[in-house]
Amino acid sequence: MRPTVPALLLVLALCGCAPQVTMNVLEPAKAHEVTQLRRIAVARFHNDEGNVTTAAVEQALGAFSLGPSPYFTLMDAGALRNAQDTNGVAMTFDTQEYRKRTKGPKASGLVLGTVSFSDWRDERILKKRSICVRRGKNDSCTKYEVHEIPCTRRTGSFAFTPKVVNIASGRIVFAQEFAESQKAEFCRGTSDAQPSGDGLVDTARKRAIAAFLQTVAPHVEHVRVSLITEDDSAMDEATKQAIAKGVDFAQAGNMDQACAIWSKTEAAHPQGHALPYLRGVCAEHAGDFQQARLAYKLAEQRCPEPSQDIADGLARVEKALANSQLLEDQLN
C-alpha cells in the first residue's frame, strides 16, 4: 500500500473580523516501531470480561484507514485465542508458540495486554436549581426560589494497557496505559436523562482505544489559521476586492479557485506581506511545504513588525518538513 500523504484540507471559518481556515494536518505516530508491524493479530486481553475490549481493539485497528485501504491488516489469531481459552488468558507464551500454533500467513505484530479497570460508580451531590414555588393563572409560575436538590453524579471509568510485540524478534515495542472516564449528572424530580453506567463505561472505553490508535498510527490534528487580507502596501480597490473574492471562494469550499485569484492578484500587486502569506497558505493546502516556507519567509521579510500568524505558518511548515520522511516511512 502506498497512499499519498494527504494534502492539507482546509475548511474556512470566521473568527471575529479575520477569516480563518482549519487545517487538517497529518501527524506521524509517536510509536514509530508499531507502524512497521502493520500485519496485526490481536490476542485476548487479560481481565477482559466478555472479551469486549479485545473485540473493540480489533475492530478499531481493522477499521482505521488513511485512504482507500485499511492501514492495518488483521491476521488470524484464532489458534492463539483457543490456547488462551484452554490454558487461561494470562498464559505465558512466546512468539515461537504463536508461529507454531498459526497456520498460513503470519502476523508481524501481536497486540495483547490487560484491562486494569472497567466499572462505574455513583456519587451523591447537591446542586442548586431554580424551583417554582408559586403558580398563578393557567398554571404559570409567578415565583421562583433557588433550592439545593439531591442529585447523582455517575462516572464510568476504563483503563487498559495494550502491548505490541514484534513477532520476529519477540521484543515488546510498545506498552502504555490509557485511562478515560465519562461523567453524567441527574437530579431527583427533574427531567434529566439518566444514562446507564455501562453506557458511560463504553464511551470511556472508546476514547481510550481511540487514544491508543492515535499513538500507534499517523493521525490528523486540527489547526486554525488566520488569513492575512490586508497590509500597509497601499492596495488599490481592485486588489482589495480580488483578495475578498478569493476569501469568498474559500468560504464556498473552492480553495483552488481562491488560490488562483490570489496568485493572479499577487502578480499584479507584488508588494506587501499579505499576498505572499496567502500564497504560503495555498502551498500548504497543496502539500508543497518547500514553497510554503519560501512564501512565508518573504511575508516575514516584508512585514514591518513581527507577525504571530507568519511565525505560526513558518513553524507549521518546518514541522511538516521535519516529519515528511517519518510519515513516508509510516505510510508505506
Domain boundary among 184, 217, 250: 217
- CATH number of 314's domain: 1.25.40.10
Residues 6+ apart with CB under 8 A from 193: 184, 186
Tell me how far the alpha carbon of residue 210 is from its chain's centroid. 8
- CATH number of 55's domain: 3.30.160.150
Question: Is the same domain home to 49 and 180?
Answer: yes
> Which residue did the predictor score with more confidence, 41 or 22?
41
Q: How many domains does the chain have?
A: 2
pLDDT digits (tens, 9 = 90+) for 265-281: 999 999 999 999 999 99
Averaged pLDDT, 141-170: 94
User: Is 21 a domain residue?
Assistant: no
Per-residue pLDDT at 16:
39
Tell me how far the alpha carbon of residue 133 is from its chain's centroid. 47
Per-residue pLDDT at 83:
67
Q: If pLDDT is split at 50, 70 and 90, which confidence band does 255 have?
A: confident
| Nearest C-alpha neighbor of 84 from the set 126, 30, 48, 109 | 48
pLDDT digits (tens, 9 = 90+) for 220-233: 999 888 999 999 99
Winning range, highest mean pLDDT, from 13-27, 113-127, 130-144 = 113-127
Average pLDDT over all residues of the chain: 89
CA–CA dist 47, 210 (Å, integer):
20
Per-residue pLDDT at 51:
93
Domain boundary among 191, 217, 243: 217
Residues 6+ apart with CB under 8 A from 253: 11, 12
Per-residue pLDDT at 252:
79
User: Is 1 a domain residue?
Assistant: no
Question: Is the same domain home to 159 and 212?
Answer: yes
Question: Is the same domain home to 194 and 66?
Answer: yes
Map grid coordinates 488566520 to a residue: 226
pLDDT digits (tens, 9 = 90+) for 173-185: 999 999 999 999 9
Least confident of 76-80, 146-150, 183-187, 202-206: 76-80
> At 85, which amino acid appears?
D
Question: Is the same domain home to 207 and 85?
Answer: yes
Averaged pLDDT, 252-271: 93
Question: Is the same domain home to 236 and 188?
Answer: no
Domain that holds residue 279: 230-331
Question: Is the same domain home to 259 and 210?
Answer: no
Q: If pLDDT is split at 50, 70 and 90, which confidence band does 67 have?
A: confident
User: Is 19 a domain residue?
Assistant: no
Sign of CA dihedral 74, 78, 83, 86: positive
Question: Is the same domain home to 190 and 289?
Answer: no
Is the pLDDT reported for residue 3 higher than 60? Answer: no
Domain boundary among 217, 245, 264: 217
Question: Is the same domain home to 284 and 252?
Answer: yes
pLDDT digits (tens, 9 = 90+) for 80-113: 777 666 665 554 455 666 666 666 567 899 999 9
Per-residue pLDDT at 18:
79
pLDDT digits (tens, 9 = 90+) for 197-208: 999 999 999 999
Question: Is the same domain home to 101 and 205?
Answer: yes
Question: Is the same domain home to 250 and 284?
Answer: yes
Sign of CA dihedral 197, 201, 206, 208: positive
Per-residue pLDDT at 191:
82
Is the pLDDT reported for residue 243 higher than 90? Answer: yes
Is the pLDDT reported for residue 39 higher than 60? Answer: yes
Is the Cβ–Cβ distance between 304 and 232 less than 8 Å? yes
Give, as one character, the DSSP assignment of residue 253: T
